[in-house]
Structure 1
Amino acid sequence: MKEACETWEEKLRRTEEIQLIREKTLEELGILVEKNTVGVHPPKKVPYLVNLNEDPFMSECLVYQIKPGATRVGRLDSDIPSDIRLSGEKIMDNHCHFENEKGVVTLHPSQESITLVNGVRINKPKKMRSGFRIILGNFHVFRFNNPKEVRRERDLII
């Protein structure tokens, strides 16, 4: 009943507050959020991961930026700080990290983590290329994309 008595401005303000809380929560999980846009918009200049799923409606819904320097991946419920926070079986507190040096990205798995690149488990650093498939733990599947790399290769062809 209280909501029915609210003015349009009060409803708008409350909706904006809820949107800010959602954006903050997504950013804390490491999910890319572009202000004042609707839908998923991958970055045009920085490397990123996009989720993959058997269900086409669930695939490519989440985008995680690989920022310059180290981007750490860990458990959602861990006390260890992570830039990308995941839950699920076999995700370790400090699962892996991506090192982005001038647009060249290397994936560094932690010891004993389940980290696969293109279906092969890795236990040492691996240089990433656009299109590589990454599996973290038992269930998290991503595609790595590097817009700068794709542009460089496209320019070589032209």
Structure 2
Amino acid sequence: MTMRAYGFLAKPSVAFLTLWYMTETTAFAAPTIVTRNQDFDFGRVAGGAGRSGTVTITSAGSRTYSGNVLPLGTTFSAARFTITGNAGETYTMTLPAEVIINAGVDQMTVTAITSSIPLTGVIPAGGSVSFSVGGTLNVGAVQRNAQYSGSMNVSVK
């Protein structure tokens, strides 16, 4: 999963950050595969320049803020995936505990990464199960206005 964050400076004291998660389609031990259907997008947020806090996108797709970061705009989404395999086959999903995204030497972390379905289960009749992934972006008080990127692995076997 590749992540990107874009920043725009509106005033000298306020930075705007947008974070997107994008994941490559990855094949696992046949016949189970996982496909990315939608990127993770925290939306635009004013942070840095003394503003710190978190932006959380739940696996159900809602967005909340803490601290003194400010939401900008209404575009955001959880990441969405589909597991495909043989009906009745068990799967085990692994999500990272934390992901670091970078803009040069500057970093932000994404923590509390969660799934809308259990991490272990059985592929239902029809051969596929869809799920969403949520997480929390941690914005620092001295967060630099820049484009952030990183990668996150979501594995299913």
Q: TM-score surpassing 0.5?
A: no
TM-score (norm 2): 0.26
Q: Which has the higher strand share?
A: 2
Q: TM-score, normalised by structure 1?
A: 0.26
The structure with the largest alpha-carbon Rg is 1
Give the structure with the larger helix fraction: 1
